[in-house]
């Protein structure tokens, strides 16, 4: 057998093993073996005393053996959930990375513009190249949130590559001056630090899309030796637009990632500016829809936001049916509109188009949580974390579910991982209130109560009126058994913004509050608010 064939065989077995684990086939094998053995033992003990014909026992053995591949096939194809049997259509975020699998991390491009005010544009260019590379199925791409925490200025590229687990690093710079654009890009081999490919582009600003395409295609060719027309089409999947609209879009995306309500409003304005220039810009419609979905979920339950999210996400999908981001935005809009069936269908379609799209896994998980399917929500949060190892939200919410459903040992194990990820995140973003209040729950699971309270106090100092901060502070105090203090914060959360009744009902962190008069009154108040908003919708 040739080395190439041997490598492919090993990769195939690794992929098969990973898929069997993901689809939870191994537990079915064990369960079937146990049940089959019990059935045969019962038959052996009871058939003779019952006077059954001798052919019954061999027939039973044949049926048990014949049922084994059927059970495997069903386990492979379907998930068993609290709401019944569901077809498993969720693709794995990534196959297991083998020694011969090409991998790359894209670092944020440096801003060499005269005024040093184009970092949003530099990061946007690098991110679009990263997104294009994720569409190449034979190439492993380190998630943005991992690679964008680092910079080629922060140390040796080889050390950065080893830290990120990548075999190659793309670094570069952008100089934007007026209508001229100079982009340099270098692909560096982590093993020895030598350049695999490099090029400098000195073009008009309008050529930015062609530059991004060429860089992505050149990298794919360098790492995979050759790429076909299908891969080239995947790289060119992002629709073109006016460069000024693109500039507003990149500004909007930078604001949106900060997650604060004032930044979401700024992002909404930037996306609208982009659409004012190019009404057919699908990604801007997607971003605009997400802003209204977030405002509805986290800030203001006015049904106008749900209506705007619905219209904008439909328009994004109409203009970009091939964009996974458009399907994910549509799913999020359906989620805030409580259309859970279509939300799930949209997230599954997004994952078919891009199995590495973190947002699709994350909001799919939240959709399941809203419906009370905590087991499936926990599994999807795990997939989100596997897709983006630097994300703390999916990890912390999974820990919350595991702890609330009695899986204490696993919750403690994964809480350690969540805190480790969060500590790295907070080194770069010490003022991230969301990281602090979500991470407090994992600290509580680890028994680090005082540290958890310090993180909660810090989160409140940063965003004292944010309803999501207040809600999660209430959850953590409820977990600690400090009922009255928890209810104080929960009342403030309801007063300052939107709180979901689904989340209140299914959130096991609030278990110690249920049945308390103040809690029940709050739940009725939130239900009444939701009813009024639905009537206005």
Phi and psi based region of residue 383 (left: phi greater than 0; alpha: psi -120 to 50; beta: remaining): alpha
Under the banding of pLDDT at 50, 70 and 90, the label for residue 10 is very low
Judge if 228 and 246 occupy the same domain.
no
- Do 248 and 308 fall into the same domain? yes
Pairwise CA distance, residues 56 & 66, whole Å: 15
pLDDT band at 460 (very low <50, low <70, confident <90, very high): very high
Which distant-in-sequence residues (6+ apart) come within 8 Å of 334 by Cβ?
310, 313, 340, 342, 343, 346
Classify residue 171: in a domain, yes or no: yes
State whether 248 and 230 are in the same domain.
no
pLDDT band at 281 (very low <50, low <70, confident <90, very high): very high
- Whether residue 445 is contained in a domain is answered as no
How far is C-alpha 184 from the chain's CA centre? Answer: 30
**Based on the domain organization, do 212 and 273 belong to the same domain?**
no
497: helix, coil or strand?
coil
**Residue ending a domain, choose from 223, 238, 253:** 238
Decide if 280 contacts 289 (C-beta within 8 A): no
CA atoms 271, 314, 348, 392: torsion sign: positive
Task: Indicate if 70 and 34 belong to the same structural domain.
Answer: yes
Is residue 441 over pLDDT 70? yes
82 lies in the same domain as 112: no
Strand 168-177 and strand 103-106: the pairing is parallel
Res. 444: pLDDT tops 60:
yes
DSSP H/E element including 280? none
Q: For residues 271 and 252, is the Cβ–Cβ distance under 8 A?
A: yes
232 or 470, higher pLDDT? 470
Strand partners, 236: none
Nearest to 121 by CA among 249, 275, 274, 266: 249
| CB-count burial class (<10 Å; 0-12, 13-18, 19+) for 68 | middle
Residue at a domain's end among 206, 238, 270: 238
What are the percentages of helix, strand and coil residues in the chain, rounded to 5?
65, 10, 25
pLDDT, tens digit (0-9, with 9 covering 90-100), for 498-522: 788 888 888 889 999 999 999 999 9
Q: What is the CATH number of the domain that holds 155?
A: 3.40.50.10070
User: CB 55: neighbour CB atoms within 10 A?
Assistant: 8
Say yes or no to pLDDT of 61 above 90: no
* pLDDT value for 3: 39
* Euclidean distance between CA atoms 422 and 438, whole angstroms: 9
**Is pLDDT above 70 for 322?**
yes
* Tally of structural domains, the chain: 3
Neighbours of 331 (CB within 10 A): 28
- CA-to-CA dists, residue 196 to 133, 143, 182, angstroms: 16, 21, 20
* Residue 170 backbone phi and psi in degrees, to 5: -105, 120
Is 109 among the domain residues? yes
Same domain for 226 and 107: yes
In this predicted model, which residue has the larger pLDDT, 484 or 22? 484
User: Is residue 264 assigned to a domain?
Assistant: yes
413's CB contacts (< 8 A; 6+ apart) are none
Q: Are strands 180-189 and 110-111 parallel, antiparallel or unpaired?
A: unpaired
253 and 320: one domain? yes
Strand pairing class (78-81; 84-87): antiparallel
- Which CATH number goes with the domain that contains 284? 1.25.40.10
Please determine, for residue 214, whether its predicted confidence score (pLDDT) is greater than 60.
yes
| Of 524, 500, 496, 508, nearest in space to 397 by CA | 508
Predicted pLDDT of residue 84: 44
Quick one: pLDDT at residue 310? Answer: 97
Look up the pTM and report it.
0.73
- d(C-alpha 476, C-alpha 508), whole Å: 11
Cα gap 474→510, rounded to integer Å: 8
Residue 121 makes CB contacts below 8 A (sequence gap 6+) with: 111, 174, 176, 247, 250
Question: Taking the CB of residue 387, how many other CB atoms lie within 10 A of it?
Answer: 24
Alpha-carbon gap, residue 216 to 126, rounded angstroms? 10
Average pLDDT across the chain, whole number:
83
What pLDDT shows up at residue 268?
96
Statement to judge: residues 147 and 165 lie in one domain: yes
Query: How does pLDDT run across 142-188, given as a tens digit for each residue?
Result: 888 778 777 655 567 778 888 888 889 998 899 988 888 899 999 99
pLDDT, one tens digit per residue, over 31-53 is 778 887 888 788 787 877 777 78
> Is 511 domain-assigned?
no
Closest CA to 399 of 383, 417, 424, 384: 417
CB of 405 closer than 8 Å to CB of 369:
no
Q: Based on the fold, state whether residues 311 and 252 are members of the same structural domain.
A: yes
- The residues, any chain, with a CB within 8 Å of residue 163's CB and separated by 6 or more, are 150
Among 54, 87, 120, residue at a domain's last position: 87
Query: Is 376 domain-assigned?
Result: no
**Residue 452 pLDDT class (50, 70, 90 cuts):** very high
Residue-wise pLDDT tens digits, 73-110? 776 655 544 334 444 445 444 444 445 678 888 988 88
Q: 351 and 245, same structural domain?
A: yes
Q: Could you tell me how many helices (H) and strands (E) the chain has, helices first?
A: 24, 8
How confident is the model at residue 99, as a pLDDT? 54
Residues 136 and 214 in one domain: yes
Instruction: Identify the sign of the CA torsion 134, 108, 112, 249.
Output: positive
212 in a structural domain: yes
For residue 139, the 8-state DSSP code is: S
Radius of gyration of the chain (CA): 26
In angstroms, the CA 438 to CA 450 distance is: 15
Cα 462–chain centre separation: 25
Asked whether residue 466 is domain-assigned, the answer is no
Q: What is the DSSP letter of 298?
A: I
pLDDT at 440: 95
Phi-psi region of 401 (alpha: psi -120 to 50; beta: other; left: phi over 0): alpha
Answer whether residue 12 shows pLDDT above 60: no
* Domain of 29, in residue numbers: 24-87
């Amino acid at each position: 057998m040739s080395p190439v064939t041997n490598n492919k065989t090993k990769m195939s077995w690794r992929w098969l093993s990973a898929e069997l684990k993901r689809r939870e086939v191994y537990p079915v094998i064990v369960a079937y073996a146990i049940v089959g053995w019990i059935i045969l033992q019962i038959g052996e003990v009871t058939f003779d005393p019952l006077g059954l014909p001798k052919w019954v026992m061999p027939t039973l053995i044949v049926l048990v053996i014949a049922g084994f591949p059927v059970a495997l096939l069903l386990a492979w194809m379907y998930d068993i959930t609290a709401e019944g049997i569901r077809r498993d259509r969720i693709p794995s975020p990534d196959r297991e990375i083998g020694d011969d699998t090409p991998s790359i991390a894209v670092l944020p491009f440096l801003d060499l513009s005269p005024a040093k005010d184009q970092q949003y544009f530099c990061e946007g260019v690098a991110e679009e190249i990263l997104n294009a590379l994720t569409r190449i199925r034979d190439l492993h791409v380190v998630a943005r949130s991992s690679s964008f925490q680092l910079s080629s200025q922060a140390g040796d590229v080889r050390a950065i590559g080893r830290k990120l687990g990548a075999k190659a690093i793309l670094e570069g710079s952008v100089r934007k001056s007026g209508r001229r654009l100079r982009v340099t890009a270098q692909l560096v081999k982590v093993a020895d630090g030598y350049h695999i490919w490099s090029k400098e582009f000195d073009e008009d600003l309008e050529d930015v899309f062609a530059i991004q395409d060429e860089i992505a295609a050149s990298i794919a060719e360098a790492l995979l030796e050759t790429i076909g027309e299908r891969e080239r089409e995947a790289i060119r999947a992002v629709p073109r637009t006016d460069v000024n609209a693109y500039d507003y879009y990149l500004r909007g995306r930078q604001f949106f990632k900060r997650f604060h309500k004032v930044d979401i409003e700024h992002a909404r304005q930037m996306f609208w500016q982009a659409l004012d220039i190019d009404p057919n810009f699908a990604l801007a419609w997607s971003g605009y829809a997400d802003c209204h979905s977030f405002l509805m979920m986290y800030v203001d339950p006015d049904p106008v936001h749900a209506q705007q999210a619905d219209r904008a996400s439909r328009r994004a999908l109409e203009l970009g049916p091939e964009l996974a981001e458009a399907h994910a935005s549509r799913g999020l809009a359906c989620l805030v509109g409580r259309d859970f069936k279509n939300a799930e269908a949209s997230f599954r379609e997004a994952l078919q188009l891009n199995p590495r799209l973190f947002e699709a896994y994350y909001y799919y998980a939240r959709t399941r949580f809203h419906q009370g399917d905590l087991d499936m929500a926990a599994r999807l949060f795990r997939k989100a974390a596997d897709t983006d190892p630097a994300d703390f939200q999916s990890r912390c919410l999974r820990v919350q579910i595991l702890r609330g459903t009695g899986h204490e040992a696993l919750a403690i194990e994964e809480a350690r991982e969540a805190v480790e990820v969060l500590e790295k995140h907070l080194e770069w973003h010490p003022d991230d209130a969301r990281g602090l209040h979500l991470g407090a729950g994992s600290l509580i699971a680890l028994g680090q109560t005082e540290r958890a309270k310090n993180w909660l106090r810090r989160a409140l100092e940063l965003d004292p009126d944010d309803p999501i901060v207040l809600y999660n502070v209430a959850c953590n105090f409820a977990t600690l058994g400090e009922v009255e203090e928890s209810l104080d914060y929960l009342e403030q959360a309801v007063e300052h913004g939107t709180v979901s009744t689904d989340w209140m009902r299914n959130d096991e962190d609030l278990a110690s509050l249920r049945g308390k008069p103040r809690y029940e009154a709050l739940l009725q108040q939130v239900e009444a608010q939701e009813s009024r908003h639905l009537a206005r919708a």
